[in-house]
Structure formats: structure tokens, C-alpha cells
Structure 1
Amino acid sequence: MGGWSGLSGRAADEALAGGVLLLVAAGSLRSVIGAREESWPATALSWGLIVVACGALYFGRRHPVAVAGVVVTATGVYYVTSAYDGPLMIAPIVALYLIASAGRLQAAVAVAALVVIGTGAGTLAGNDDVNGVAVFMLTGWVVAMVALGWVRHSRRVYLREAERRAAGEERLRIARDLHDVAGHHISLINVQAGTALHRFRRDPAQAEAALAAIKESSRDALRDLRATLGVLRQADEEAPTAPAPDLDRIGELVESARAAGLTVRTRVTGDAGPLPGGVELAAYRIVQESLTNVVRHASAGTVTVRIERGPRSVLVEVADDGRGAAAGATGGGVRGMRERARALGGELTAGPGPDGGFLVRARLPHGNGAS
């Protein structure tokens, strides 16, 4: 019933109340066009109760329990005072669904019990229009509507939780990309600025080279930040056209690290065929974050980057000859790299290397099984 006919909000409320009123009115026409079984004032009262019970459903989505109270009361008075047994019982059943779909399960059970008990009491009091079979069938309808309403409520809760979780994962991904991009370039800029200040008077040529490196890093930072922030654009804005970073751009990271004073060795082996975009991006970011950590924390002179492209996974290793475990003081960065690997079904380890220094090793699958 929620979102019936593709409607929502007030239009859905109007459709529900109007539809129930039309159905009940069609089933109650016998009281105005058939043989008279009661006075016209009694018939007018009955139709007034029909309008009240059905009209109250318009407010059922916003005030389900209060509306159910009005509907059940009006329906009870109708069946006690009217000589015609119309289908007004539809209104309380719909009200029960509205209570349950709003998440008020205890209230729905209480109202359902009141409806069944009241109908049963009327049967015991001698109402010839309702027998035991009818009460049994009514109980089935009541239970079914409460169950359907609760299922709809549970589904809405699940969808809201899924949306919230997806939004949280997207925020985490954006934060991780910003950390990788900004942290890498700003670290290099910081190192080069320190070199320029230190060498400005004693070695102007080296200071000039450091300033040129700062200019290059800042330009790259702006480019990558624009590409990363492009995901925050509105749907009607032009999407970013810059390609996502991939393994073909590892050379740029290596050159930036060399400009910061590191000796960088690279080794790329294996199949050079195309990889899934997510694997390319994750491998690039892991190398980027690892080199950033070496520049910031390791006090290393040499770093080795090894990439092995297998038929089912990519192995990424970044090892330095720095202070070993001291380089692990980059908890947020290491967590971000692990999350990237796990998101692809892979794994990442980071810790002291077998020959000293610090080693980051990640395996990123792009097929079934391990390479």
C-alpha cells in the first residue's frame, strides 16, 4: 500500500482515503436505494460515520495510532446503530496496516485485538450478520495486514540503513582519495621547501631546482584534487574528464620522490595487458601513499618499488632502507591502504622488512583465485 500507484505524500493520502471511501460507499448503496430497514435519520448517521472513518485515513500516515482510534470507534458505532451490514470493516483493517508500517507494532497488535474482540462480542450478543466463520476470517485479515505493514516498515528501515552505509563508504572513499592526493604532494612540497630554504644562500642552483620541484608538485596536486573532487559535482554539472590515475603514471610518483632526494628503483614485471580500473587505481594509490610515508617518516635514502602483474592478481611492494618500524607511524595511511586492498578482495601487510627498513606488500586480485 505504501507508494500505491506511484504516488507519494499528500496525493497518496488522498488516494487511500478516497479509494476506501469509494469502495465502502459502493458496498453500502443498499441503504439508500433498497427497501427501507431503518429511518432516514439513522441512514444519514450511518453515512456520516462512513465518511468519518474513511476520511480519517487521510491522516493515517502522519498520526496512525490516533487515526486508528477514530476509525475503530466510528466503525463500531456504525455496526451497532445501522441496520445495514456494509463493508466499513475495510477501514479499520487499512488503519492497522498504517500503524504497523509506521513501526508501531505493539499498538497495531493492541488495535487488532480490540477489533477482533469487539467483533466477537457482537457475534455473541446475537448479531445475525456475523458468525464464527466470519470472525475467524476477519482474524486472518487482521493478522495479515499487521504482518504486511511490519514487513514494509522493516524493508524501509533496511533500505535507509543500506543508503546510510553506502553514503558512509562513499565519504570514506573520498576522504581516502583526498588524503592520498593531498598528503603525497604536500609532503613533497614541504621537503622541497625545506631544501630551498637550507640551500638558498649556499647553493642557489639547488635551491632553484627545489623551487621548480615545488611548482611541479603543486601543479600536480591541483590537477589531482580537481579530479578527486569531481565526484562531488551535482548530477547536472559537467563530469570531470581527467582519467583516473593508473600504473602507467607510476613514473610520475617515482620522479616526485626522486625530486625529494630519494633514490628510487622500480621493477615492473608480468603481463602488460589492461587491468580493471579499480585495481589500477588501488595499486597507484598504494604506491603513492607508501612513497609519501617514506618521505615523511622513514629517513630513508633508497626505496624500491616492485609491481608484478599476474594473470589473476597484481602484487605491489614498496621497501625502503629507513628506520624500520618507525616508518609505521602513519596509522591512517596504512589503514586506508588496507581498506583499498580489502575492498577488492585482496590483502595488504605493512611492517619492518626482512633486511631492515619498512615494507608494504599488497596483493590485489582481478580474477578468481590467486596468481
Structure 2
Amino acid sequence: MRSRLLTSLILGLAVFLGLWLTVTPDDVAARWVQLALGAIALAGVMVSSRLPVLAVVVTAAATACAWLLGVSADPFVLTGFAVFRLAETRGGRRFPWWMFAGAFLVVVTSAIFGAEGAEGRFRGMLLSAVVLSVAWVLGVRTREVRDEAAARSRADERLRLARDVHDVLSHSLGAIGVQAGVAAHLTTLGTEDLREVLRGIEGDARSSLSELKCLLQRERTDTEAENVASSPLSAALESVALTAERAGVSVRLDSDEAIDVLPVDVRTTVLRVVKEAVTNVVRHAAGSSALVTLRASSESVTVGIEDDGQGAPSKFQPGHGLTGMRERVELLGGTVDFASSTSGFMVSATLPLVKPLGGDKG
């Protein structure tokens, strides 16, 4: 609000000095009238952010009186500032009829009874109409752009939150569902085996709750980057593999040592990609094993996840998980590809490295 007041004051003073004070009245009394009317117009400009309708009325009346007395050359520029604020806050696409009628009446009256000649009055009339029309159009367009930006921001935030919730919960809940389903359908499980399954479910549930808590905390503070930075990526990947193995899928990790010194945002994306791919293996692939390969060079990181399942249908449509995976990778300027065959499904992603390896030890 302070910046708007300062902007209005600076612009108002510039117009007053350039289009009001440059007009020399005939006597001292007219000069005082000029200063008084200019002060009123400036006051109208100053309240335009809070009271735009009043600002339009005040600035238009003061400028019209100044025109009638021949103490201003302002073609309603100060009124245009107020019109801009009005259009920015509550204006529609069309110029309001009441403002059009009022502006037309003020401009015509000022032009007819003004101190200038006929040619000067006509020129001032035309210029004033242009100033007010342009001010209204710019104000409406500014409001539309601001509303569009806010709508895009809300949509992006909803998409990000949906992607994060899916990434946090899908892996653990998918593993829990598989473990519970296996335990429910196997009648040969002994007491100790059943307890082991329940302990695995408990561990996955606690892990999901912990990650969900971190996600909610991150909405208030940037804790995700701190959590990722404080734990090695290799350890997090081993946890993903352990969860999958509890659900009956053997996961083998083949990675470089350099993955633990990747930038935080790259590590986070790699972890999310592997989690989502392994979750899909557990839930959809009907396979028994998966191979996770990670290779890091000075320029990029490549991630590959391949399973021995049944593959996807020939014309499958990526769901929320694969779509979110692609979006995460593309946010960092990377690419991701999906391939399916009768021998399994494969995910391959490439992430560029902006920072050199070892630059972010995290």
C-alpha cells in the first residue's frame, strides 16, 4: 500500500508540475485558485487506491474547474490515474455508462466554456477522451492479468500438493495393501510369520505417517530440503527396497557412490522417481524382482528401473503416478521415458546437473 501511495504521489506531482504550474494565471488570486484545485486533484489521486469512485469524481471536478478558469492544461490525466485504479479493482470489459456519461459531460462542458479557442478546445476534448479510455482499458487488463496469475498460482499449488501427497503415501500404502492381501489369503502362515507381516505393516504405516507429517510441516517451513540433505540418498533407496521386499518384490540397487553428493533437488527427484516406479512394480507388475540402476556423471544423472513383470497394455495411459514423475523430472529440465514389453516395464530418466558433483554435500 505504501508503494502505491508513493507511486500515486510521484505521478500526481509530475502532472501537476508539468501541466498545471506551467500555465501562468492572469493574477495572484487565480494562482491561488490554481494551487487549491491542483491540491484537491492530487488528494483525489492519493485516495484512488482506497476510494476509486470518489477519486474519479474529485479529480474530474477539480480538473474541469481548472479548465473552465484556464489555469490548467491537464487533459484529465489525473482523472485517468483514478480511472485506472477503479478499473483495476472493479472494472469490467465495457466502459461503464455512468462514467462515460459523466466524463462526456465534464469534458464537453470544459471544452465549450474553456478559456482556449475552438481548435484548442476540440483538441483537448479528443485528448481527454483518449486518456480516460486508455486508462480504463489498462486498468481492466491489469486486473485480468493479476487474476490469471493468481489462478495459475493456485492451480500449480494444488498440482504440487497432489503430487507430493501421492508420492508420500502411494509407496507405503501400496506395500501395506499387498502385505495385508497376502496375509489374508494365505492359510499356511504361522503365528510368527503373521507377526512378521504385521510388524512390516506397522513399520510402513509409521513411515507413511512420518513422511506425511514432514509434508504438512513443509507447507509452513522448508523442511523437506533439510530432511533430504540430512540423510544419504543411498540409505533412503535401501529403505524403499526393504519396503518392497516386505511386499514380496526383490529390489536390487546398482548405484554409484556419487549419488550421495548430488544436489538436494536432484536427490529428492531421484528418490521420488524410484519410489513411484517400485510402487508400480509392487502394485501392478505381478513380478518378483526389480533392478534399480543409478549412474552419475559430471553433467547428468540417469535413473533406470526395470522389472520382470507382465508389462503394461499396448495402449496404456499414464496415471497420476507416472504423470507426476514426468512433471517432477521436467521441472529440473530432465526427460523420462517409459517402455513396456512382455518381459516387464522399464522407466528411464535423465536429470541434468547444474552444480558439479561434490558441490552440495548436504
- TM-score, normalised with respect to structure 2: 0.73
1:308-348 superposed Cα distances (whole Å, 9 cap, x missing partner): 11221111111111121159576111111111111111111
Identity of counterpart residues, as a percentage? Answer: 27
Q: Which residue of 2 aligns with 1:228?
A: 215
Q: Does 1:169 align with 2:156?
A: yes
Amino acid at match of 1:95: T
Once residues 72 and 256 of structure 1 are traced to their aligned partners in structure 2, the CA distance between those partners, rounded to angstroms, is: 72
Q: CA deviation at 1:362?
A: 1.2
How far 1:291 moved relative to its partner?
0.9
Structure 2 residue aligned with 1:337: 325
In structure 2, relative to structure 1, the CA distance for the partners of 1:270 and 1:335 (3 Å cut) is same
Structure 2 gaps of 5+ residues are 356-362
When residues 106 and 183 of structure 1 are mapped into structure 2, their CA distance, relative to the original with a 3 A threshold, is closer
User: Are residues 364 and 78 of structure 1, via their aligned partners in 2, closer, same or farther at CA, if it must alter by over 3 Å?
Assistant: closer
Taking the TM superposition and a 5 Å limit, the aligned residue runs for 1:14-33 are none
Report the CA distance between 1:197 and its aligned residue: 3.0
Partner amino acid, structure 2, of 1:343: L
Of 80, 97, 100, the match for 2:84: 100
Q: 2:228 aligns with which of 237, 243, 248?
A: 243
Q: 1:180 aligns with which of 167, 171, 174?
A: 167
- 1:321 equivalenced with 2:308 (yes/no): yes
Aligned to 2:3: 6
AA aligned to 1:231 is R
CA displacement, residues 178-216 of structure 1 (integer Å, 9 cap, x when unaligned) = 101111111111112223334476422221211111111
Instruction: Name 1:39's counterpart in structure 2.
Output: none
Cα pair 1:297 1:326 within 8 Å, conserved = no
The offset of 1:242, in angstroms, is 3.1
Secondary structure in 2 aligned to 1:351? strand
The residue correspondences of 1:60-71 to structure 2 (distance < 5 A) are: 60-61=48-49, 68=56
Q: How many Å separate the matches in 2 of 1:146 and 1:113? A: 11
Give aligned pairs, total.
344
In the TM superposition, 1:33-182 aligns within 5 A as 34=28, 60-61=48-49, 68=56, 72=60, 76=64, 80=68, 85-87=70-72, 92-101=76-85, 102-103=87-88, 107=95, 118-122=109-113, 127=115, 129=116, 132=119, 136=123, 143=130, 147=134, 150-151=137-138, 154-155=141-142, 157-182=144-169
| 2:244 aligned partner, one-letter code | A
- Quick one: structure 1 residues 202 and 50, their matched pair in 2 at CA, closer, same or farther if it must change by over 3 Å? closer
Matches of 2:286 and 2:49, distance apart in 1: 64
CA contact (8 A) 2:312 2:345 kept: yes
Task: State the alpha-carbon separation in 2 of the partners of residues 60 and 272 from structure 1.
Answer: 57
Q: Classify the secondary structure of the residue corresponding to 2:218.
A: helix
- The secondary structure found in structure 2 opposite 1:183 is helix
Contact 2:41 2:63 in 1 (8 A): yes
Distance 1:78 1:35, change over 3 A: closer
CA distance in 2, matches of 1:49, 1:310: 71
> In the aligned structure 1, how far is the partner of 2:189 from the partner of 2:260?
49
Q: Distance in 1 between matches of 2:331 and 2:39?
A: 57
Call closer, same or farther: CA 1:113–1:193 in 2, change over 3 Å.
same
User: In 2, Cα distance between the equivalents of 1:146 and 1:352?
Assistant: 60
Normalised by the size of structure 1, how large is the TM-score?
0.71
**1:306 maps to 2:303:** no
Aligned twin of 1:350: 338
The 8 Å contact of residues 96 and 112 in structure 1, kept in 2 or not, is answered as: no
List alignment gaps of at least 5 residues for structure 1. Answer: 37-42
Q: For the Cα contact (< 8 Å) 2:45–2:81, is it kept in 1?
A: no
Amino acid at match of 1:347: T
Contact persistence 2:179–2:247 (CA under 8 A): yes
In structure 2, how many angstroms separate the alpha carbons of the residues matched to 1:50 and 1:317? Answer: 71
Counterparts of 1:180 and 1:234, CA distance in 2: 19
Deviates further, 199-208 or 166-175: 199-208
Where relative contact order (Cα < 8 A, 6+ residues apart) is larger, the structure is 2
Q: Give the CA deviation at 1:158.
A: 3.2
Q: Secondary structure at the match of 2:71?
A: coil
Deviates more, 1:173-182 or 1:273-282: 273-282
The answer to which of 198-207 and 140-149 deviates more is 140-149
CA distance in 2, matches of 1:35, 1:52: 17
Following superposition, the deviation at residue 100 of structure 1 comes to 3.2
Q: Which moved more, 1:145-154 or 1:170-179?
A: 145-154
For 1:280, which of 257, 267, 278 is the aligned residue? 267
| Change in 2 beyond 3 A, CA 1:274/1:145 | farther
In the alignment, the residues of structure 2 paired with residue 223 and residue 364 of structure 1 have an alpha-carbon distance, to the nearest angstrom, of 28
Determine helix, strand or coil for the equivalent of 2:301: strand
Q: How large is the RMSD of aligned CA atoms in angstroms?
A: 4.7
**Structure 2 Cα separation of the partners of residues 175 and 242 of structure 1:** 20
> d(CA) in 2 for partners of 1:119 and 1:73?
10
**SS of structure 1 residue aligned to 2:323:** helix
Q: Is the 8 A contact 2:77 2:131 kept in 1?
A: no
Aligned equivalent of 1:40: none
